[in-house]
Amino acid sequence: MKTPATFLVLSLVISLYAADAGPRVFDVRQFGAKGDGKTFDTAAIQKALNECGQAGGGTVKFPPGTYLSQPLAIRNQTTVLLEADATLLASPTQSDYLKGGGDWLKAKGSGDFIPFIGGNDLTNVTFTGKGTIDGNGAVWWGEAEKARQKVSGYVLPRPRLIIFNRCKNLRLTGIKLINSPSSHFVPADCEDVTVENVTIVAPAGAANTDGINPSNSRNVTITHCTIDTGDDNIAVKSGKKVEGRPFGCENITIADCDFLHGHGMAIGSATVGGVHHVVVKNCRFENTDNGLRIKSGRDRGGLVEDISYSNITMKNVHPAISIVSYYQYSTNDKYQKNDPAQPVTETTPVFRNICISNVTATCTQDAGLIIGLPESMISNVVLENIHLTAETGLTIANAKGIQLKNAEVSVKEGPPFTTENAQVEGLVRANEKQ
């Protein structure tokens, strides 16, 4: 028979176990972080992150304040909670991000840098709250723009704001990401990624400040986000083949998002590993340099298929639709005509099975392009219930199996549709409607 004392001991053990098993909170201020925006809080924050990971997981909390920090490493099973009026501010010292030290302007690639926030081979990592992560990008953008002006299209290597490699169950919700030196959030080789109600902002002229770049990742959902940046708002990329997988990047859903300044909703330019099953729906675009864009080139291409865009509205975009196998060309005035066919290789772009439906757009210049390569024609594209208003029309070239169903392009000059080496069903009917 158990005595009252025995029951008391058992109750205490159960209580202690329950308390220990519950979620733990690691407040960065309790680890010595000042949050005054002047003192480096790196050591205190990293200690909180480390102890959270060592404890088997929990929440690292940032109360209101500005926490200046050098690069940080996230640990397993960690939730980072940024409370309202809490800002995690990146160090403005470029050498803090160099793996080997030295002059950052001599870096050979982005791989020479440590991201402001990073993690490898993690599970169940969440960033949440109403706070902000600020990349202090102004100290980087000036030199990047100088380099781009000297060599058109050149990307000066810089660190990313947040990058995770080979992680599962990543979640960003509610927070704000601003002023990254380059791309803001890069899940690379990750699975089961959710981004919702996140705001991403960088100046329109800040070079290469992509919003979200799912790279060789699977099962990614991005919803109810507002993205206003200096480069691709979202870019789905697959820069390498993944062993055992036919597609490096697949099952991507982008829904109910607002795209402001930036280069629009992109797939590519790196598509070597293949991209499969991307759904973009119920999104709004305003003042973006591109709307719906698939881009690649002969030296960086792969198979892109099963792509769906639906219920899209665009205002003042240039252009609305750009599906082009010549990466450097995205507008009618730069379309490379009379290009001879070249041998098909492992990096030849192949774009097929694309549906674009229920799209309304006003374009500041041309309506758009669907242009494949003479050796690799874009195939099986359906444009249904499309209503575009533009200065000039939509160009379709090196393409087959293109279907126009209630597709209208209203232009100020020239034909609404221009074709070259293209098989287009419904073209006469579409032209007659203008």
Total-model pTM: 0.93
Spatial CA neighbour of 164 closest among 76, 225, 53: 76
Q: Write out the H or E segment, with its range, that includes residue 409.
A: strand 392-411
- What pLDDT, in 10s, does the model give residues 241-259? 999 999 999 999 999 999 9
At residue 352, what are phi and psi to the nearest 5 degrees?
Answer: -155, 160
Spatial CA neighbour of 218 closest among 187, 254, 186, 196: 187
Instruction: Write down the CATH superfamily of domain 26-346+359-377.
Output: Single-stranded right-handed beta-helix, Pectin lyase-like (2.160.20.10)
Q: Domain coordinates of the chain in residue numbers? A: 26-346+359-377
3-state secondary structure of 9: helix
pLDDT at 338: 81
% of residues, the chain, pLDDT over 70: 91
Spatial CA neighbour of 178 closest among 161, 193, 165, 194: 161
Model confidence band, residue 101 (pLDDT cutoffs 50, 70, 90): confident
Q: Is 276 a catalytic residue?
A: no
- What pLDDT, in 10s, does the model give residues 166-216? 999 999 999 999 999 999 999 999 999 999 999 999 999 999 999 999 999
Q: Strand pairing of 378-390 and 417-425?
A: unpaired
Tokens found for residue 224: 């109810």
Q: Which residues contact 288 (CB under 8 A, 6 or more apart)?
A: 233, 259, 260, 261, 262, 263, 264, 314, 317, 318
Q: Is 184 a catalytic residue?
A: no
Given the residues 263, 276, 289, 366, the one annotated as active site: 263
**Look-up of token digits 């003192």:** 39
Query: Which amino acid, 9?
Result: V
> From CA 259, how far away is CA 308, in angstroms rounded?
17
- What pLDDT, in 10s, does the model give residues 109-157? 999 999 999 999 999 999 999 999 999 999 999 999 999 999 888 899 9
Given the residues 134, 228, 231, 289, the one annotated as active site: 231
What separation in angstroms does the CA of 67 have from each of 88, 164, 204?
A: 5, 21, 26
Q: Which residues contact 333 (CB under 8 A, 6 or more apart)?
A: none
By CB atoms closer than 10 A (0-12, 13-18, 19+), residue 260 is middle
Whether 12 has a pLDDT exceeding 70, the answer reads: no
Whether 18 has a pLDDT exceeding 90, the answer reads: no
What separation in angstroms does the CA of 165 have from each of 42, 129, 190, 254, 317?
A: 22, 23, 6, 21, 33
DSSP state of 308: E
By CB atoms closer than 10 A (0-12, 13-18, 19+), residue 152 is exposed
DSSP state of 112: G
Whether 427 has a pLDDT exceeding 90, the answer reads: no
3-state secondary structure of 97: helix
